[in-house]
Every structure is written in C-alpha cells, then in structure tokens.
Structure 1
C-alpha cells in the first residue's frame, strides 16, 4: 500500500490517526499542497479529484475519501474496532460521524476556505477554482462555534463520543477541534466535558501525527 498524505492538512490526518490506532505502518508519499502539486497532471492521474488523502492498495485500487480509507482498513484490520463492533455501535458511530461532518467539519471548512487569504480562489477543494464568499465564511465561523459548544453536551456522562470506547468519531472530532484552531475557534472555557475529553484523546500517541 501507499498513502498519499500532506502533513498539515486535516483530512489526511484523519486517516493517519486511524492508521496509527490500527498499529499499522504504511509507506507514505508527501504531497506539496502549498505549491499546488495536487493539481499537477501527474497527481490528477492518481486522483482526478485533486485532493488528499488517497490510499493506494496493492492491487492498484485507489481510495480517495476518508470514509473509503477507513472502511478498507477496518475491514482488513478489524481490531481494535474503530467503526463499531455490534450493529448498534456501528450505527451509532455512523450517526455521530454524520453530525460531526455536517454540523462541524463543513462549517469550519467553509470558514477556512472563504476567509483565509491563502485560500483565495480555492474556496472548494478539487480541480476547479472558485472565488471566496466572505459571508459564507462568517456563517461557517458561527456554525463552528456552535458545534464546539454542542460537543460538550454530546460528551455528557461518557468518556468518548460513542460511549466507553475510543472510536472514529473521536478521531474526527479531535481533528476538527484542532482544525478550528486555525481560526482561533476553541472549545468554550465552560465546556468541562469536552475539555476533559480533549485532554484525554489528544494525549494518545496517534494524536501527535
């Protein structure tokens, strides 16, 4: 296998953490996003979506989404289970991932892509250029702040988002909190549940990746 990565980008970090939690060592190719390597003809031949992550399998199959990479790794290395081990747990984690992505990840992505000068004309990932919409960025900030406050309620009375066991939901939420930091959006000082959880998950060796 070969993992196409970028060490500062949040999306491939989701897969890096997952790989580490599975105890795997996968060869990595670093992509230079700052200089637009993802838009090069050579990389387009690998991933026409012009994005990272990409997990290239031994048979030549290329997985071009976080969820695709996660699912393959979970199916081939089932322990520890990060996407759930029972029907209920699998459904709960899928539910959590949807809410984190829809309410939190999309919000922060909108804010980053539509407000940071370095993202000028790159308001969306992919092969095409799109102009920034500042109002959308400001709305994203508000939605992101609201979601980080909501995270505290989601963690009330539980060690991890899905209950007693660390899961992919914790991975996505951890990376999201750090991603929000790009805009100085942080967990509220009164969010004791979320702050406790964040201290726990960010102390895991995989969180340093």
Structure 2
C-alpha cells in the first residue's frame, strides 16, 4: 500500500488527519503540486485525474477520492471508529460530510480556483484547461459565509459536527476552515461562538496540533 499525497493541499490533508487519528503510518510519496509533478506522465499513469491523494493498494487498485480512501481504511482498521458505531451514526456522518463538502469545501474551492493567479486555466481539477470565472470566485466567498453561519447553528446542538462523537465529518469541516484561511483569506468570525468552541476543542487533539 502506498499513498501519493501533498500534505498542504485540502484533500490530502483530510486523509492525513484521518491516518493520524487512526494511528496509521502508510508509506507515502509527496507529489509536489507547486512544481507541477501531478501533471507529469508518471503520475498520470497512476491517477489520470491528476489529483492527490491517491492510495494504491497491494493488488494495484487505486483509490483517489478522500471519502473512498477513508472508508477503505475504516473497514480495514475499524478502531477508533470515525464513521460512527451504528448504521444511523454512519448515515449521519456521511450526510454531514457530504453537506460540508458541497456547501463549504466546494465553495472555498470555487473562490480560490477562480481568482488565484496560480490557477489560471486550472479553475477545475483534472487534465483539461478550464478558464477562471471571476463571478464564481465572488459567489464562492459568499457561499462560504453562509456555510459558516449554518455550521455554527448545527454545532449549537451537538459537541461535534455529526453528533456527540468525533468523526470524519469533523475532519472535513476543520480542513475546510484551514483552506478558507489561506485560500480565500477568510478566518473564523468571533461572533460564531459555537463554531469557535468546536474549533478550540479540535485544536486540542494531538493530530490537529501538528503538521506532518
């Protein structure tokens, strides 16, 4: 098993935190996105979508979506449970995780990729060149603001994003906030007290306190 990654990017960061919470150490190779290594034929042969992370299993199967990678690792290493401990808990984790991806992570990505000079002609991931649309950048920032307000309301009723247990959904939410801080220069407002409480709670976890 081998993980191709770039630790500072949002999607690899999600898997990195998942591995840290599981206490797993998987052989990995860094693909330098800034240097364009993901665009080279060598990596395209591994993942034609040209994205990281990519987890290559011992039988040659390659998983490239963070949710699929994490789900596979959860099945192989079920403890600690990060997808819930019952069918209902699992459903809630997956539902909240999808909600965060759609309304938070994709909103930040929309804002970042449509206005960053480094993303010129790369407004979408993948092998095709896609032009930036400035209006989508503005919409992404606005959508992210709405996402923060909605997440704050959800956290007013529970300790964690998907209920009373820490889960994959919390990892996705944390990485979304990290991405927004540098990607669209938007920090967590002090007025969102429930979200601030949750953020402090996660910051105290060893996996979140370090960068490796």
**Could you say whether these structures have the same fold, taking a TM-score greater than 0.5 normalized by the shorter chain as the test?**
yes
> Does residue 17 of the first structure (1) align with residue 14 of the second (2)?
no
Q: TM-score, normalised by structure 2?
A: 0.96
Q: Which residue of 2 aligns with 1:200?
A: 201
Tell me the distance in 2 between the aligned counterparts of 1:188 and 1:152.
Answer: 10
Tell me the distance in 1 between the aligned counterparts of 2:11 and 2:155.
Answer: 23
- Secondary structure at the counterpart of residue 199 of structure 2: helix
- Secondary structure at the counterpart of residue 46 of structure 1: coil
Q: Which residue of 2 aligns with 1:100?
A: 100
Q: CA deviation at 1:74?
A: 0.6
Tell me the distance in 2 between the aligned counterparts of 1:61 and 1:189.
Answer: 45
Tell me the distance in 2 between the aligned counterparts of 1:203 and 1:117.
Answer: 35
Task: Check conservation: 1:5, 1:31, Cα contact below 8 A.
Answer: yes
> Does residue 138 of the first structure (1) align with residue 156 of the second (2)?
no
Tell me the distance in 2 between the aligned counterparts of 1:7 and 1:187.
Answer: 22
Q: Which residue of 1 aligns with 2:120?
A: 120
Cα root mean square deviation, aligned: 1.0
Tell me the distance in 2 between the aligned counterparts of 1:42 and 1:83.
Answer: 34
Task: Check conservation: 1:38, 1:44, Cα contact below 8 A.
Answer: yes
Tell me the distance in 1 between the aligned counterparts of 2:98 and 2:61.
Answer: 25
**Superimposed CA distance per residue, residues 75-130 of structure 1 (whole angstroms, 9 cap, x where no aligned partner):** 00011111111011011111101110111111100000001111111101111111
- Secondary structure at the counterpart of residue 8 of structure 1: coil
Q: CA deviation at 1:21?
A: 0.8
**Superimposed CA distance per residue, residues 35-56 of structure 1 (whole angstroms, 9 cap, x where no aligned partner):** 2111101000000010000111
- Secondary structure at the counterpart of residue 44 of structure 2: helix
Runs of at least 4 residues of structure 1 off by over 2 A? none
Unpaired runs of at least 5, structure 1? none
Aligned length: 209
Tell me the distance in 1 between the aligned counterparts of 2:43 and 2:74.
Answer: 26
Q: Which residue of 2 aligns with 1:169?
A: 169
Task: Check conservation: 1:149, 1:188, Cα contact below 8 A.
Answer: no
Tell me the distance in 1 between the aligned counterparts of 2:121 and 2:6.
Answer: 20
Q: Which residue of 1 aligns with 2:180?
A: 180
Tell me the distance in 2 between the aligned counterparts of 1:149 and 1:186.
Answer: 13
Q: Which residue of 2 aligns with 1:150?
A: 150
Task: Check conservation: 1:145, 1:186, Cα contact below 8 A.
Answer: no
Q: Equivalent residues in 2 for 1:51-62 (5 A)?
A: 51-62=51-62
> Does residue 160 of the first structure (1) align with residue 169 of the second (2)?
no
Tell me the distance in 1 between the aligned counterparts of 2:28 and 2:206.
Answer: 18
Tell me the distance in 2 between the aligned counterparts of 1:69 and 1:178.
Answer: 21
